[in-house]
Amino acid sequence: MPALSVCEDLDSLVVQYMSLVDENLAIHNRISAKFQEGRELISQAKYIMGPKNVSADCYDNRMKAIRGVAMDIPTEITIRDLAAERKRLANEEEENEQKKKDLKEAIGKLNDVEISSRSDEAPSSAGGLRRRGGGMTSSPSEDSPRVPSQDSSIDDTKSLAESDAPTPTSKKKERNPDPLIWFGVFVPGALRNAQSVFQKSLQDIVELTVIRHKMLQLEQDIERLQALKKTA
């Protein structure tokens, strides 16, 4: 590679690197300003509610993150709402359970209809035996033992199965993942605004991470071209 071409490529990479440095500094300033604003709002909330009511003693140890990131490649990072995703998955599971329950009920109704249709189609038993030589038919003796019908045995089996079936338990109510509820129901507006400010700073942090990755790549390319320039 000619030395002139190497120098042109090197100059282009340096210009790109300096542009990223400017963006890096601008994002650092934005993050610093938002963090300062958030801390000031928390101080206002402590003044309103009292320092003991806004402290680490109010934290819930069962806390879960409500924000996350999804990274396809190092330069494509998006913020995810984990609380909304968990809620959506819970709703989908509840819908699937309801569909399974409805399907079981439909199958049970079809079985009941089939059993009743079979019992209707069964031939009726003869009322008595006709005497030889003709005459009145004799009715069965009242003292003869009664044979249980097929329908009664089916009904008994169904009742036993229903009694043995486990009763559905009430679904546990999902806890609200919003950390503001740790500090009471009616929290001051300063605390809510502080949460909003810190959440908005997440996008700047993601952009800062992407820019930092691009800067590292440019540094490697610049070092490679500088070494190539020395050997040219």
So what's the pLDDT on residue 43?
Answer: 92
So what's the pLDDT on residue 159?
Answer: 53
Are 45 and 190 in contact, with CB atoms under 8 Å apart?
yes
Are 80 and 89 in contact, with CB atoms under 8 Å apart?
no
Are 74 and 223 in contact, with CB atoms under 8 Å apart?
no
DSSP E strand stretches across 61-178: 67-73, 76-81, 129-130, 137-138
> Phi/psi zone of residue 41: left (φ > 0), alpha (ψ -120 to 50 degrees), beta?
alpha
So what's the pLDDT on residue 129?
Answer: 46
So what's the pLDDT on residue 156?
Answer: 52
Query: Which one, of 178, 181, 193, lies nearest residue 44 by Cα?
Result: 193
Q: Extract the tokens encoding 57.
A: 């003693």
So what's the pLDDT on residue 127?
Answer: 47
So what's the pLDDT on residue 128?
Answer: 47
Spans of all domains in the chain: 3-64+177-231
b/e sequence 12-29, b meaning 16+ C-beta within 10 Å: ebeeebeebeeebeebee
Query: Which one, of 218, 145, 199, lies nearest residue 37 by Cα?
Result: 199
> Phi/psi zone of residue 135: left (φ > 0), alpha (ψ -120 to 50 degrees), beta?
left
The angle that helices 3-49 and 189-231 make with each other, rounded to 10 degrees, is: 160
Whole-angstrom Cα distance, residue 40 to residue 196?
Answer: 13
How would you write the pLDDT of the chain (232 residues) with one tens digit per residue? 566 788 888 889 999 999 999 999 999 999 999 999 999 999 998 888 887 777 777 777 777 777 787 877 766 777 777 767 777 777 778 788 888 888 888 887 777 777 777 666 655 544 444 544 454 444 444 455 554 454 555 555 455 445 444 455 555 566 677 778 777 778 888 989 998 999 889 999 999 999 999 999 999 999 998 888 888 6
Sign for the CA dihedral angle at 196, 200, 206, 212 comes to: negative
So what's the pLDDT on residue 126?
Answer: 45
